[in-house]
Amino acid sequence: MNENYRHRQLLNLLDEKQLLSTSEIIQILGVSPATARRDITKLHQQGRLVKVRNGAEKLNASPELSISHKINNSDEKQRIANAATQLCKEGDSVVLTCGSTMQMLGSKLCGRKLQIITNYLPLANYLIEHHHEDLVIIGGQYNKDKQITLSLHHQHEPSYATNIMFTSGKGFTEQGLYKTDMIIAHSEQQMSSHAGKYVVLLDSSKLGKQVGMLFKALQQIDILITGKEADPVIIEQLRHKGIKIILA
| Higher pLDDT, residue 80 or 156 | 80
Crossing angle of the two packed helices 3-17 and 33-45, in degrees rounded to 10:
80
- Run of H or E including 21: strand 19-21
Of 125, 224, 124, 107, residue with least CA distance to 168? 224
Query: What is the distance between the alpha carbons of residues 180 and 178, in angstroms, rounded to a whole number?
Result: 7
pLDDT at 66 over 70: no
Instruction: Name the burial class of residue 166, with classes exposed (0-12), middle (13-18) and buried (19+) by CB atoms within 10 angstroms of its CB.
Output: buried
Which of 244, 80, 235 minimizes the C-alpha distance to 167? 80
Q: Quote the CA–CA distance of 218 and 88 in Å, as a whole number.
A: 22
pTM (2 decimals)? Answer: 0.71
Q: What would the pLDDT profile of 178-233 be if each residue is shown by its tens digit?
A: 998 777 777 787 777 789 999 999 999 999 999 889 999 999 999 999 999 999 99
Q: Which domains can be identified in the chain, with CATH numbers?
A: 3-61 (1.10.10.10), 65-247 (3.40.50.1360)
pLDDT in tens, 150-187: 665 555 455 678 999 999 999 999 999 999 877 777 77
